[in-house]
Structure 1
Amino acid sequence: MPESSSKSSPAKRSLTGIAGIVAIATLVSKVFGLVREQAIAAAFGVGPVVNAYAYAYIVPGFLLILLGGINGPFHSALVSVLSRRDRSEAAPLVEAVTTLVGSLLLVVAIALIFFAGFFIDLVAPGLSQTPEGVQVRSVAILQLRIMAPMAVLAGAIGIGFGTLNASDRYWLPSVSPLFSSLTVIVGLGGLVWYLGDDLLDPSAARLGGIVLAACTLLGAVWQWLMQLQAQWRSGMGSLRLNFNWRTPGVREVANVMAPATLSSGMLHINVYTDLFFASYIEGAAAAMKYANLIVLTPLGIISNALLVPMLPVLSRLTAPESRTDLKLRIRQGIVLSALTMLPLTAVFLSLSQPIVRLIYQRYAFDAAATDFVTPVLMVYGLGMFFYLGRDVLVRVFYALGDGATPFRISIANIFLNAVLDFFLVRALATPGLVLATIGVNITSMAMLLWILHRRLGGLPLLDWNGTIAALCGCSAIAAGASWGASQLWERVLGSEQWWLQALELGVCAGLAIALFGILVLQLRLPEMQILTARLSPILQRFSRRR
C-alpha cells in the first residue's frame, strides 16, 4: 500500500503540471489566432475573399484539425501506443507511421490540386447562382489549389503532436499553431502596405485571396518544421522513410487511428453539410467562420487542458477491477466540462454583440457585419458544453480501444444534421445551421452515455443529469443578470468608444462568471475542488511567465 500511494501522488502532480503547460501554451496560440482573425476581418470584412477562403479551407483545414490537431485521432493513437512501449522502439515506429500516412495524404493533395473546382462545387453549389457567388467560387478554387499541400502537412503535424506528447513534451506542440497565425498576420500586413486603400476594391479580391491562402500554407510549413526539430532532438524519429508497415506497433496504431479518424471525419462532414446550405446565404460562411473562432479560443484552451492529460489516465482504468474509478473519471470529465463551458455560455448569450463589436468592428468590418455575426455567436455559445462533453465521452471509447462505436454514431448523425439543417435554415437562416450542429452533439452525447451505461454495468445517469440541469440553471441566471447589466451600461454610459466597450465587456462578463461561481458553490460539487486545484497551478505558472 505505501508503494502504491507513493506512485499515485507524483502522477497527480504530473497531471496538474501537464494541464498547466497545455493551458498556457494553448492560450498563447489562441490569442495569436484571434489576432490573425482580427487582421483578416479588418482587411476583408465579410466580403468575397473571406467567403471564398471559408470554402477553400474546408478540406485542408478539415485535415489540419482532424489529423494535425491536438486531441485528434493521430495524436490520440500515437500517445496511447507509444506510452505503452519502450522508448527505443519509438523512432522506427514513428517513421513507419509517417511514411504510411504521408504516402496516402500525398495522393489526397494531388487530387485537391487537379479537382479543386469539383470540390468547391461539391461543398458550395449555391455559389454558381449569383454573379457575386461566381467571383467567390473563382477565388476559392485558386485558394484550394494553393493550400492543397497542407493535406500532407496535416498528417505530419498530427504525428508530431502525438510523438512529442508521448515523450513528455507539451509546450511546443500546444504553442506551435501560433507560427501559422504569425505568418498570416505578417503576410496581410505586407498586403495592406502594398495596396493601401485599394485593398477594398473588388478587383483586388483575387490578389487578396492568393496572399491569404499562400500565408496559410507557409504557416503550416513553419509549424511542422518547429515540431520536427524538437522531434529529432527527442530521438522520436526523423525524415527517414520506413516502409515496414507490418510491424505490430504500426498495426496497433492503425487499429486505433483508422476508426478514430473515420469517426472524427464523420463529425466534420457535418461542417460540410452546414456550408452546403450556407452557400445559398450571402456572407453566411464568413459569419460562421468569425463566430466559430471566438468560441474556439476559450474552448480550445480548456478542452486541451482537460482532455490531453485525461486520455492516459482513462487508458489505465480499462481493466474490469478499475471500473468504479473509470465511472468516477467519466463523471468528472462531464461535470468539469459543464463547470468550464456553461459560464462561458452565459457570457456569449448575454454579450455577443459587445464581443463581436470589440473584436472585429473596424475598417472593412462595419456595424452591419456585427449585426450579422452576433446571433451566430450566440448560438455557438449555446452549444459549447455539448461539444466538449461529446469529446470527453469519445476519449473514453478511445481509451477502451473502441473507435468503431463513435464512428457508427457519427455516420447516423450525418443524416440527422442534414435533416436539421434543411428545416432550421429555413426558419432561422445562418443561426439555424449552428443550432443543427448542437442538436447533433446532444444526440451523440446521449447515445454514447447510454452505450457506456450498458457496457460498464450501469452509470448513475439520473444523478448526473440532475447535476447538469442544475448547472444549466445557474448559467441561465448568470446570463440574465449579465444581459441586464449590459443594457443598463449602454443606456447610462454608452458604448461609442472602444475603452467603454472593453469596460462593459469586462464588468458584465465578470458578473456572469462570478454569479455562476457563487450559485455553483451552493451545490457543493466535488468537481469544484478538482477545478480549483487545477486552476491554481495554471494561474501561478502564467503569472511566473509574465
Structure 2
Amino acid sequence: MSDHEPDRVRSSGGLLRSSVLVAAGTGLSRVTGLLRIMAIAYALGTRVLADAYNLANTTPNVVYDLVLGGILAATLVPVIVDRNEHDDRSGVDALATVVTIALVAVTVLATAASPLIIRLYTLDLPAEEAQRQASLAVPLLVMFMPQVLFYGLTTLWTALLNARRSFAVPAFAPVLNNVVVIALFLALPRLAGGKPTLEQVRDDPGLLVLVGIGTTAGIVAMTLVLWPAMRRAGIRLRWNPDWRNPAVSTVARLSGWTLGYVAANQVVFFAVLTLANGTGEGAVSAYTYAWLFVQLPYGLFTVSIMTTFTPELATHASRGDLPAFRSRFAQGLRLGLLVILPAAAAYLVLATPIVGFLLQRGSFTEASTELTASALVWFAAGLPGFAVFLYTMRGFYAFRDTRTPFLLNLGENVLQVGLAVVLVRTFGLPGVISAFALAYSAAAVAALAVLARRAGPVGVDGLWAAVVRQGVAAAAMAAAMVAVIRVVTPGGSGEYVTQALVGGAAGGLTYLGVLALVRSDDLRALRALGARIGTRPDSTTMP
C-alpha cells in the first residue's frame, strides 16, 4: 500500500459524487442543448441559410478551442492546483490577468479576420454559391466573434472553481446559453413571417441583429453566472499583469507543444469542414446537427468524468504515486465507457428514427433527416475512440506532458485528413466523417499504449474485463434494437416515434439486463453511489 492509500480511499466516494453532480448539471445542459438543436433545425432546416449560420456560429468556439482553449484546458487546472497548494495568490492573479489580456487580443484579431475565415470555408464551392453564403456568414461571424472572449473567461473561471473542487455552477451554466438560443429561434419564423431565407435575414437589419447579437448573448449569460459562484468560493482576483510570474511561465512552458497540438487541429478542422461544405447544400448543417447529437452522451458523462478526475490525476502524478494514478485513470475510463458504448450502439442502429423523431418539423424535411442520420451513423462509429483518446490526453497532461499529446494528435490529424481526402471523392459527407471514426479509433489504441509505457499498465482493477462486459452488453443492446425496428416498418414520423422510443427502451433494458447478468462491478458501483448521494449533503466537494 502506498503512503497515500488512505487519501485515495477517502477521496473515491467524493470523486464519484462530484462526477454525478457534474453529470446532473451537464445532463440538464445537454437536454436543453438538444432542445436548442431542435429549435435551430425547426427555424433553419438544412438549407443554405442554415449552412451560413452554422459555419459562422461554429467558428468562435473553434477559434477559441484551437488557438487558446486547448492550451488553457491542458494547463490551467494542474497549475492552479499547484499554486493553491503553495498558497500563491499572486501567481493565480497574474495567470488570470495575462489570460484575460490574451483573450482580448485573440478576439480582436479573429474579428478582423472574419472575411478571410469564411473565404477558407467556401474554397470548395462555386464562386456564385460561395459569395451568396459569405454574404450572410461574414456579418454574422463579426457579431459572433466576441464569444471567443467569453468562452475563455468561462474556461478560466471554471478552472479556478474546479481547482477548489467546486463543480456545480460551471456544470449548470450552459443551460442559460441554451435557453436564450431556444427562445431566439422559436421566435424567428414568426418574426420573419414564415420560413426565413438567407436573403431575408441578410437584408433585414432587425433579423440580422436578432440572430447575431441574440446568439452571442447566450454565451455572455453563461459566463457571467460564474462570477457569484467565484465570490462564494472565496476567489478574489486582482489585476496583476506580471508576465514573468512563475505561474505564467509554467503555463507558457507547458503550452509550447500544445500550441503545435492546436495548430494541427486548426488545419484539420478547416480542411474537414471545407470538404464537407463542398459536398452539397445542407452538408455543413447535417454535420453540425449530427455532431451535436454525438456531444450529448460524451458531454453528459465523459466530460463530467474528465472534469472531476483531472485534479485528482494531477495530484497523484505530482506526488509520483503511480499506483494511485493508474487506479483513478482506470476507474474514470470504465465509467466513461459505461455510457459511451451503449450511446454509440443506439446511434448506429436508431440514427434515422432519432433524427426524424426529434428534428423533422418546420424547415427540417425528410431529406434533412436522411442527410443528418447518415452523418450521425459515422460519428457514432468513432465515438468510443474519440472519448477514449481525449480522456487519455488528460492522463498525459496530469504529468505536465504536452509533447506526447501533440505527437499523438498530429498522427491522428494526418490520418484523418488523408482518409477524408480519399473517401470524400467516393462517399461524399459520410466519407469525411468515416475518416474521423477510423482516425480516432486508431489514435485511442496508440494513446493508451503510450500512456502505459509512462505510468505502467493501465489495465488495473479489472479494466479490460469490464470493458469486454460492457461491449457484450452493447452488442446485445444493438441486436434488440434491430429486432424492434424490423417489426415497426419505416414510413413516416409516426414510425420514427415508435422506433426511437420503443427501440431505445428495449435496447436500454437489454444493456442493463446483460450488465446485471454478468454482475458488472460498474453497475453496482453506480447503484451504490446513488444511495450514498442522498445521505451526503457535501456532495459538491471531495473529503
Length-normalised TM-score, structure 1 = 0.88
SS at match of 1:168: coil
SS at match of 2:489: helix
1:142, 1:210 within 8 Å by CA — same for their partners in 2? no
Q: Structure 1 pair 182/355, CA: closer, same or farther in 2 (3 Å)?
A: same
Q: Structure 1 pair 121/535, CA: closer, same or farther in 2 (3 Å)?
A: farther
Which of 112, 118, 124 is 1:114 aligned to? Answer: 112
Pairs within 5 Å for 1:460-479: 468=467, 471-479=470-478
Matched, 1:185 2:182: yes
Which of 499, 511, 514 is 2:509 aligned to? Answer: 514
Partner of 1:96: 94
Counterpart amino acid of 1:23?
A
Question: In 1, distance between residues paired with 2:493 and 2:417?
Answer: 41
Q: Give per-residue Cα distances to partners, 1:220-258, cap 9 Å, x unaligned.
A: 2222221123324433244x5321122222223334455
Most deviating of 317-326 and 471-480: 317-326
Q: Structure 1 pair 4/460, CA: closer, same or farther in 2 (3 Å)?
A: closer
2:415, 2:439 within 8 Å by CA — same for their partners in 1? yes
SS at match of 1:244: coil
Question: In 2, distance between residues paired with 1:539 and 1:382?
Answer: 36
Question: In 1, distance between residues paired with 2:503 and 2:127?
Answer: 42
Question: In 1, distance between residues paired with 2:122 and 2:464?
Answer: 39
Q: What is the CA distance between 1:273 and its match in structure 2?
A: 2.2
Pairs within 5 Å for 1:54-453: 54-65=54-65, 73-86=71-84, 89=87, 92-127=90-125, 129=126, 131-197=128-194, 199-200=196-197, 202-204=199-201, 207=204, 210-238=209-237, 240-257=238-255, 259-260=257-258, 262-263=260-261, 266-267=264-265, 269-282=267-280, 283-318=282-317, 322-453=321-452
Counterpart amino acid of 2:168?
W
SS at match of 2:135: helix
1:58, 1:272 within 8 Å by CA — same for their partners in 2? no
Matched, 1:16 2:16: yes
Most deviating of 332-341 and 29-38: 332-341
Most deviating of 74-83 and 277-286: 74-83
2:481, 2:506 within 8 Å by CA — same for their partners in 1? yes
Counterpart amino acid of 1:49?
L
Length-normalised TM-score, structure 2 = 0.88
Q: What is the CA distance between 1:122 and its match in structure 2?
A: 1.9
Q: What is the CA distance between 1:206 and its match in structure 2?
A: 5.2
1:100, 1:243 within 8 Å by CA — same for their partners in 2? yes
Q: Structure 1 pair 47/211, CA: closer, same or farther in 2 (3 Å)?
A: farther
SS at match of 1:169: coil
Question: In 2, distance between residues paired with 1:530 and 1:270?
Answer: 39
Q: Give per-residue Cα distances to partners, 1:100-147, cap 9 Å, x unaligned.
A: 2232233322222322221112233123x1534421122111111111
Counterpart amino acid of 2:23?
A
Q: Structure 1 pair 300/321, CA: closer, same or farther in 2 (3 Å)?
A: closer
Structure 2: unaligned runs, 5 residues or longer: none
2:43, 2:188 within 8 Å by CA — same for their partners in 1? no
Q: Structure 1 pair 94/269, CA: closer, same or farther in 2 (3 Å)?
A: farther
Pairs within 5 Å for 1:23-38: 23-38=23-38
SS at match of 2:317: coil
Question: In 2, distance between residues paired with 1:60 and 1:73?
Answer: 16
Question: In 1, distance between residues paired with 2:20 and 2:195?
Answer: 45
State the superposition RMSD in angstroms.
3.2
Aligned identity (percent) is: 24
Most deviating of 108-117 and 60-69: 60-69
Question: In 2, distance between residues paired with 1:320 and 1:226?
Answer: 34
Counterpart amino acid of 1:15?
L
Q: Structure 1 pair 488/149, CA: closer, same or farther in 2 (3 Å)?
A: same
SS at match of 1:364: coil
Question: In 1, distance between residues paired with 2:86 and 2:325?
Answer: 31
Q: Structure 1 pair 538/210, CA: closer, same or farther in 2 (3 Å)?
A: farther
Q: Structure 1 pair 4/476, CA: closer, same or farther in 2 (3 Å)?
A: closer
Q: Structure 1 pair 478/531, CA: closer, same or farther in 2 (3 Å)?
A: same
Question: In 2, distance between residues paired with 1:76 and 1:22?
Answer: 19
Counterpart amino acid of 2:159?
G
Question: In 2, distance between residues paired with 1:32 and 1:197?
Answer: 24
Question: In 1, distance between residues paired with 2:142 and 2:92?
Answer: 29
SS at match of 1:363: coil
Most deviating of 49-58 and 167-176: 49-58
Aligned length: 533
